[in-house]
Amino acid sequence: MDQERLKQSALQLEEMSRRHATIDAEAKRFADAIAAVIVDVKAK
C-alpha cells in the first residue's frame, strides 16, 4: 500500500463513519418516535 492509496482509504473511512453517524441519529429519532407512540397507546 503506497501513501496515496492509504490516504484515500482513510478519507473513505472518514466519510463512511460520518454517514453512519447521521444514520444512527435518524434511527434514534425514529425509535424514540415509535416508543412515544407505544407509550401513548398503552396509556389509553
d(CA 3, CA 34): 46
DSSP structure class, residue 44:
-
Q: What is the pLDDT of residue 1?
A: 63
pTM: 0.57
Model pLDDT for residues 9-42, shown as the tens digit of each residue: 999 999 999 999 999 999 999 999 999 999 999 9
Residue spans of the domains in the chain: they are 1-44
In terms of residues, how long is the chain?
44
